[in-house]
Amino acid sequence: MARRKLTKLEQIGIVVMVGVVGLFFYLKLIYDPTMKRYAAIQKKWVRLSHEVERLEDEEVAVRGIKGLKKRLGEMEGELRKAETSLVKDVDTADSLMIDVLKLAEENNLKIASYESLDTTRVKEMIKSFFYQRRYYDVLLKGQYGNLVVFLTKIRSLPQIVTVEKIDIRHESKDESAPLNMALLFSI
pLDDT-derived band at 79 (thresholds 50, 70, 90) equals confident
Instruction: Give the separation between CA 44 and CA 152, rounded to whole angstroms.
Output: 61
109 neighbors 146 (Cβ within 8 angstroms): yes
Give the mean model confidence (pLDDT) for residues 11-39. 87
Instruction: Give me the CATH code for the 91-186 domain, please.
Output: 3.30.70.60
- pTM strictly above 0.85: no
164 neighbors 126 (Cβ within 8 angstroms): yes
Give the mean model confidence (pLDDT) for residues 48-69. 83
